[in-house]
């Protein structure tokens, strides 16, 4: 036998066209006799002796005249002549015509299953040898090409001659069990965190009540001591006068006291039972017990050791407190003391601030004074001024208001102060504490409250505040002090009633809009900033809520915080609570910058008076908007910025000296807090090239800000990456628990997909399940990607805010990915629990799970990159298109797919699934397996490399997603 060509065999030397002798016909074989056989393949012997039909269990190809053993799993009996068709059944050859001594022989050929189905042991039977075929017994099943019968599972249905076991019952059981678990999760997910929260709330309430009672007892005890001291002084003077008149008083009983004195003494004392009352015995309250203990043992510190008590009482430091109850008592004790002092200084004026600061042990913060001179912002590519010639100073311990009409550049002014003015050319000088240092170096102690309420809706108010405090406060700050900071912010912002309520989202309502606004401010207050900048914090709030918010910021000013906020037309009472005012005109020009108390005096000096019963801020803004016409004094509202420069002796640009002031008002009325189309000239609005250059400049600046390393001058050591990773992990875990219903719906969809594809897809023996797995490689990545998009698409704004404040981007990304690993592990099992038991392929469920696990890990990383780079709608579209298109490309047989397929995850997944199934086929299936794998370009030893490629692509896609996360940030 010799290979005469690619894929062909050279027949024996005695079998040719001129001489076709005995033994050359199919199913027959001959012998070489007693002659020796040369094993040299180039010299084939002549087989012409003792020709006989091919034996059972062998096959004799046409023209070879030799017998070849049939492989295991084949059934090769002797054939019989079918008198009607003239064919040798069960084979498809005919005996030579005209030769009566030649009958049907054995098997003629072994090839793939499609060409030679007849030699494969039939389904429902098993062939222990190639010459014996037995039917499968009941309780067993036999696939095509089986050499033994396989026992069915206990609950499987297997009749006699079964070709496969029906394990649908297991699929139904799994479906019922998983559906029950999902139903429980769907209905009870909200209760998983509530028990811990209720326990903590009870501990907190007990501590608050105890602190309140301690404060009340302390105040009453102080009052009682003061009254007793005054009474003792009066009694002493009275007794001295009595002794001078009556010398025999010394002979009387010293225990006796005059009745009138005793009556006055009793009348002077407060009506509080101090253990000397002779009334009926009643059940003593905690407050009564504390006062009695203080009276009996004034030097004792019990009951006041961690609360307020007397100023001379020694209080333990926060780091000595260990239990939650002690920590809460310490925190609420300090808060109650501050409340009492605030009642004494309600207005929080300068004298009130000094009094409060001296009575409370306030931890001072590093001061940040911001001075700016001739600050000008010009939009790159358009040469528009967003701010122009703004000079002034923001001082620590003062609350400044930034006001102006729409288009005045208020938000742009705040962005310039915080170093976030991307796409703009900044000129002028900004000094931090008198030094020309970048403000980004102080970002750990700078709080910026954005105009939009960027708060996690699936966390409670307290959880939002605590996360910000953990990640942004100093890492060496004791836990009791952190508790005090958070509780103080909750108390000052009036969030105590809703502290355990979810903030809420668009789909699920939570707290009110005003409370959400206060939580937005509280996220920055809990990190104890030295510079607090707020962009329209009072917008949408009523007067009382605005006043509450401003009181909280003034409380921050007690600790030396520099507070600056943008406000829109505040009420008069709210306006008077500010220390300084920055009034901007359209075009980013300063009209007034100074104390609030002197603003009316300044405008009166230039001929602008506030009418009676008119709110001054409203009147000033109406003037700057051009709504209110100034009296005929020759003064135009466009001249007000020039008047302010003249008043302070600032240099005036030449183009602003025009008396009409048209240049000042026409330049750059487009700012971040409201763009006015009328501000731009006609040629600029239609200049597409200018817009493109401006957008490119903004993106370049943002990328530069993201990658530029700033030196840290804040001297605050915040938690490192690992500790922040822990905090992010806890937060994301809570969010996933509260989103358990959504996760349950995802798993239910996977269950239904597994049932449908497992029932409809045919894992054919001829293709080793290739087409059946094709649908899996399309459906599962599609569903996984859409679910994985939620990890980053919905949290972009939150991430941008947190990363701008100095939180670790790596910790954020790793925590998200770590929690999503739960879905990576669970969801393949959920899908296979239906698909495998309804489809029942030959490969093991473990092999299928490992392949699907790697596929899910891979496509999850791809979904991360899509979610971060694209908008949510575009990301969903790409998530649907990619699995379908890539899988169809990988399944086609062409030169293009052969080249591209090596770089497509769908090709690796299909190859791994097919190989896992093909390894279960042996014996008679070898030729079929070889042909299918060769046709697809697969190889049996590629299973582990395919899994490795999927994992490697998952890692690479996650690295790309992280780079996109820190690179393409928006404002």
Q: Write out the DSSP string of 665-696.
A: HHS--EETTEE-GGGS-HHHHT-HHHHHHHHH
Which residue would you say has higher pLDDT here, 770 or 662? 770
Give the orientation angle of helix 194-245 with respect to helix 286-296, to 10 degrees: 40
Is 242's pLDDT higher than 80? Answer: no
Q: Tally the residues of the chain.
A: 971
* Residues 728, 722 contacting (CB under 8 angstroms): no
**Residue 894, Cα to own-chain centre: how many angstroms?**
42
Q: How far apart are CA 685 and CA 345, in angstroms?
A: 54
Q: Which helix (H) or strand (E) holds 329?
A: helix 324-344
445: exposed, middle or buried (Cβ count in 10 Å: 0-12, 13-18, 19+): buried
Ramachandran bin of 348, using left for φ above 0, alpha for ψ from -120 to 50, beta for the remaining angles: left
Residue with tokens 């076991």: 165
The pLDDT of 550-574, averaged and rounded, is 87
Q: Which two tokens stand for residue 184?
A: 């429980």
Which residue would you say has higher pLDDT here, 368 or 839? 368
pLDDT band at 971 (very low <50, low <70, confident <90, very high): very low
Which residue would you say has higher pLDDT here, 823 or 555? 823
Is 958's pLDDT higher than 80? Answer: yes
* Residues 74, 110 contacting (CB under 8 angstroms): yes
Is 759's pLDDT higher than 90? Answer: no
Report how far apart, in Å, the C-alpha atoms of 76 and of each of 60, 61, 71, 92, 407 are: 11, 13, 9, 13, 92
* Residues 402, 595 contacting (CB under 8 angstroms): no
Peptide bond into 90 cis (omega under 30): yes
Q: How far apart are CA 370 and CA 414, in angstroms?
A: 12
Q: How far apart are CA 834 and CA 770, in angstroms?
A: 18
Residue with tokens 């906020």: 565
Is 519's pLDDT higher than 90? Answer: yes
Q: Looking at residue 460, what DSSP letter applies?
A: B
Q: How far apart are CA 56 and CA 88, in angstroms?
A: 14
Query: Which of 385-389, 867-871, 909-913 has the weakest average pLDDT?
Result: 385-389
Adjacent-strand bridge partners of 2: 10
Q: Looking at residue 269, what DSSP letter applies?
A: S
Q: How far apart are CA 764 and CA 3, in angstroms?
A: 32
Q: What confidence score (pLDDT) does residue 342 get?
A: 62
Q: Which two tokens stand for residue 260?
A: 């009138």
19-45 pLDDT tens trace: 555 567 788 777 766 666 555 555 566
Look at the alpha carbons of 767, 768, 774, 779 in this order and tell me if their dihedral is positive or negative. positive
Q: Which two tokens stand for residue 926?
A: 């070898």
Q: What confidence score (pLDDT) does residue 658 get?
A: 60
Adjacent-strand bridge partners of 15: 20
pLDDT band at 354 (very low <50, low <70, confident <90, very high): very low
Is 566's pLDDT higher than 60? Answer: yes
Where would I find the H helices in 558-681?
A: 572-575, 599-605, 616-625, 640-648, 662-666
Q: What confidence score (pLDDT) does residue 54 get?
A: 83
The pLDDT of 267-294, averaged and rounded, is 42
Q: Which two tokens stand for residue 666?
A: 């026409």
* Residues 70, 110 contacting (CB under 8 angstroms): yes
Q: In the chain, what's the furthest Cα-to-Cα distance?
A: 169
844-866 pLDDT tens trace: 889 999 999 999 999 999 999 99
Is 717's pLDDT higher than 70? Answer: yes
Share of the chain above pLDDT 70, in %: 72
Q: What confidence score (pLDDT) does residue 202 get?
A: 66
Q: How far apart are CA 624 and CA 568, in angstroms?
A: 13
724-742 pLDDT tens trace: 999 999 999 888 888 888 8
Is 900's pLDDT higher than 70? Answer: yes
Q: What confidence score (pLDDT) does residue 782 get?
A: 92
Q: Which helix (H) or strand (E) holds 809?
A: helix 809-839
* Residues 583, 617 contacting (CB under 8 angstroms): no
DSSP string, 196-256: HHHHHHHHHHHHHHHHHHHHHHHHHHHHHHHHHHHHHHHHHHHHHHHHHH-GGGGGS-TT-
Per the prediction, the chain carries an average pLDDT of 77
Q: Which two tokens stand for residue 444?
A: 């750990």
Q: Looking at residue 3, what DSSP letter applies?
A: E
Residues with Cβ within 8 Å of residue 795, at least 6 apart in sequence: none
Q: How far apart are CA 769 and CA 69, in angstroms?
A: 29
Ramachandran bin of 867, using left for φ above 0, alpha for ψ from -120 to 50, beta for the remaining angles: alpha
Of the candidates 933, 787, 934, 908, the one whose C-alpha atom is nearest the C-alpha of residue 850 is: 908
Q: What confidence score (pLDDT) does residue 455 get?
A: 92
* Residues 342, 359 contacting (CB under 8 angstroms): no
Q: Which helix (H) or strand (E) holds 588?
A: none
* Residues 890, 906 contacting (CB under 8 angstroms): yes
Query: Which of 292-301, 366-375, 712-721, 782-791 has the weakest average pLDDT?
Result: 292-301
Instruction: Indicate the pairing of strand 132-135 with strand 125-129.
Output: antiparallel
Query: Which of 71-75, 76-80, 463-467, 670-674 has the weakest average pLDDT?
Result: 670-674
Which residue would you say has higher pLDDT here, 802 or 273? 802
The pLDDT of 915-929, averaged and rounded, is 87
Q: What confidence score (pLDDT) does residue 687 get?
A: 56
Q: How far apart are CA 833 and CA 812, in angstroms?
A: 33
**Residue 935, Cα to own-chain centre: how many angstroms?**
44
Q: Which two tokens stand for residue 762?
A: 């045919």
Of the candidates 675, 671, 617, 673, the one whose C-alpha atom is nearest the C-alpha of residue 452 is: 673
Q: What are phi and psi of 533, to 5 degrees?
A: -115, 130
Query: Which of 283-292, 323-332, 353-362 has the weakest average pLDDT?
Result: 283-292
Q: How far apart are CA 950 and CA 960, in angstroms?
A: 15
101-137 pLDDT tens trace: 567 888 888 888 888 888 888 888 999 988 888 999 8
pLDDT band at 524 (very low <50, low <70, confident <90, very high): very high
Which residue would you say has higher pLDDT here, 107 or 343? 107
How many degrees, rounded to 5, is the angle at CA 473 between CA 471 and CA 475?
Answer: 85
Taking the CB of residue 237, how many other CB atoms lie within 10 A of it? 10
Q: What confidence score (pLDDT) does residue 905 get?
A: 92
Is 969's pLDDT higher than 80? Answer: no
Q: What are phi and psi of 157, to 5 degrees?
A: -100, 115
Is 670's pLDDT higher than 50? Answer: no
Share of the chain above pLDDT 90, in %: 19
150-207 pLDDT tens trace: 888 887 778 888 888 777 777 778 778 887 877 777 666 656 566 666 666 666 666 6
């Amino acid at each position: 036998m010799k290979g005469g060509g690619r894929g062909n065999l050279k027949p024996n030397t005695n079998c040719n066209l001129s001489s076709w002798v005995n033994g050359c016909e199919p199913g027959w074989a001959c012998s070489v006799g007693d002659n020796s056989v040369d094993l040299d393949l180039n010299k084939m012997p002549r087989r012409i002796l003792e020709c006989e039909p091919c034996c059972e269990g062998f096959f004799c190809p046409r023209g070879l005249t030799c017998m070849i053993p049939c492989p295991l799993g084949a059934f090769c009996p002797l054939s019989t002549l079918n008198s009607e068709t003239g064919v040798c059944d069960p084979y498809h050859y005919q005996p030579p015509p005209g030769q009566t001594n030649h009958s049907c022989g054995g098997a003629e050929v072994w090839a793939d299953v499609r060409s030679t189905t007849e030699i494969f042991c039939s389904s429902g039977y098993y062939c222990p040898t190639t010459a014996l075929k037995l039917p499968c017994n009941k309780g067993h099943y036999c696939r095509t090409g089986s050499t033994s019968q396989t026992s069915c599972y206990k609950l499987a249905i297997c009749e006699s001659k079964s070709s496969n076991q029906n394990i649908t019952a297991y699929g139904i059981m799994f479906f019922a069990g998983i559906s029950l678990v999902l139903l429980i999760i769907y209905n009870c997910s909200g209760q998983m965190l509530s028990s811990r929260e209720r326990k903590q709330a009870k501990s907190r309430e007990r501590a608050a009540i105890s602190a309140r009672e301690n404060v009340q007892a302390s105040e009453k005890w102080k009052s009682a001591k003061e009254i007793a001291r005054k009474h003792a002084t009066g009694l002493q003077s009275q007794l001295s006068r009595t002794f001078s008149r009556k010398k025999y008083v010394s002979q009387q009983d010293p225990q006796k006291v005059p009745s009138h004195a005793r009556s006055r003494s009793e009348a002077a004392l407060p009506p509080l039972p101090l253990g000397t009352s002779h009334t009926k015995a009643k059940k003593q309250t905690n407050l009564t017990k504390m006062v009695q203990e203080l009276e009996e043992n004034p030097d004792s510190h019990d009951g006041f050791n961690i609360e307020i008590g007397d100023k001379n009482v020694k209080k333990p430091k926060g780091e000595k407190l260990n239990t939650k109850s002690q920590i809460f008592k310490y925190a609420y004790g300090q808060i109650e003391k501050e409340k009492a002092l605030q009642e004494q200084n309600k207005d929080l004026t300068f004298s009130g601030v000094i009094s409060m600061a001296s009575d409370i042990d306030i931890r001072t913060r590093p001061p940040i004074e911001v001075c700016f001179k001739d600050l000008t912002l010009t939009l790159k590519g358009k040469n528009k001024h967003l701010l122009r010639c703004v000079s002034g100073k923001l001082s620590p311990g003062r609350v400044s208001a930034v006001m102006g009409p729409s288009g005045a550049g208020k938000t742009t002014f705040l962005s310039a102060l915080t170093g976030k003015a991307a796409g703009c050319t900044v000129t002028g000088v900004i000094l931090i504490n008198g030094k020309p240092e970048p403000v980004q170096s102080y970002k750990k102690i700078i709080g910026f409250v954005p105009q939009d309420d960027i708060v996690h809706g699936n966390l409670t108010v307290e959880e939002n505040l605590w996360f910000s405090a953990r990640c942004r406060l100093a890492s060496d700050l004791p836990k009791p002090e952190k508790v005090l900071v958070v509780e103080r912010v909750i108390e000052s912002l009036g969030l105590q009633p809703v502290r355990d309520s979810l903030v809420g989202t668009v789909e699920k309502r939570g707290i009110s809009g005003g409370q959400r606004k206060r939580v937005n401010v509280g996220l920055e207050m809990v990190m104890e900033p030295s510079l607090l900048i707020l962009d329209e914090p009072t917008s949408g709030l009523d007067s009382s809520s605005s006043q509450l918010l401003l009181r909280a910021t003034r409380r921050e000013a007690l600790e030396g915080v520099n507070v600056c906020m943008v406000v829109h037309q505040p009420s008069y009472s709210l306006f008077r609570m500010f220390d300084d005012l920055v009034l901007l005109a359209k075009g980013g020009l300063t009209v007034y910058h100074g104390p609030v108390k002197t603003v009316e005096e300044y405008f009166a000096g230039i001929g602008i008076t506030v009418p009676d019963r008119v709110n001054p801020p409203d009147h000033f803004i109406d003037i700057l908007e051009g709504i209110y016409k100034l009296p005929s004094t020759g003064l135009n509202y466009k001249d007000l910025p020039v008047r302010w420069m003249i008043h302070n002796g600032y240099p005036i640009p030449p183009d602003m000296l025009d008396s009409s002031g048209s240049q000042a008002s026409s330049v750059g009325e487009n700012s971040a807090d409201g763009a006015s189309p009328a501000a731009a000239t006609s040629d600029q609005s239609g200049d597409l090239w200018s817009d493109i250059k401006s957008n490119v400049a903004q993106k370049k600046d943002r990328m530069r800000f993201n990658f530029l390393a700033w030196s840290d001058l804040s001297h605050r050591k915040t938690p490192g990456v690992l500790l922040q990773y822990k905090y992010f992990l806890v937060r994301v875990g809570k969010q996933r628990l509260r989103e358990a219903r959504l996760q349950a719906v995802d798993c239910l969809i996977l269950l239904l997909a597994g049932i449908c594809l497992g029932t409809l897809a045919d894992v054919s023996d001829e293709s080793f399940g290739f087409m059946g797995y094709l649908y899996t490689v399309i459906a599962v990545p599609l569903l996984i990607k859409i679910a994985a998009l939620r990890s980053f698409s919905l949290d972009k704004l939150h991430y941008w805010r947190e990363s701008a404040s100095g939180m670790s981007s790596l910790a954020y990304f790793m925590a998200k990915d770590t929690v999503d690993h739960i879905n990576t592990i669970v969801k393949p099992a959920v899908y296979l629990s239906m698909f495998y038991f309804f489809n029942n392929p030959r490969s093991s469920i473990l092999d299928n799970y490992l392949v699907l696990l790697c596929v899910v890990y891979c496509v999850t990383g791809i979904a991360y990159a899509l979610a971060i780079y694209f908008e949510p709608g575009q990301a969903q579209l790409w998530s649907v298109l990619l699995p379908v298109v890539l899988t169809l490309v990988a399944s086609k047989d062409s030169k293009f797919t052969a080249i591209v397929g090596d770089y497509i995850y769908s090709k690796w997944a299909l190859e791994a699934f097919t190989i896992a199934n093909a390894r279960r086929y042996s014996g008679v299936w070898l030729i079929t397996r070889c042909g299918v794998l060769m046709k697809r370009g697969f190889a049996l030893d590629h299973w582990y490399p395919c899994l490795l490629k999927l994992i490697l692509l998952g890692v690479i896609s996650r690295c790309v997603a992280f780079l996109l996360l820190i690179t393409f940030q928006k404002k």
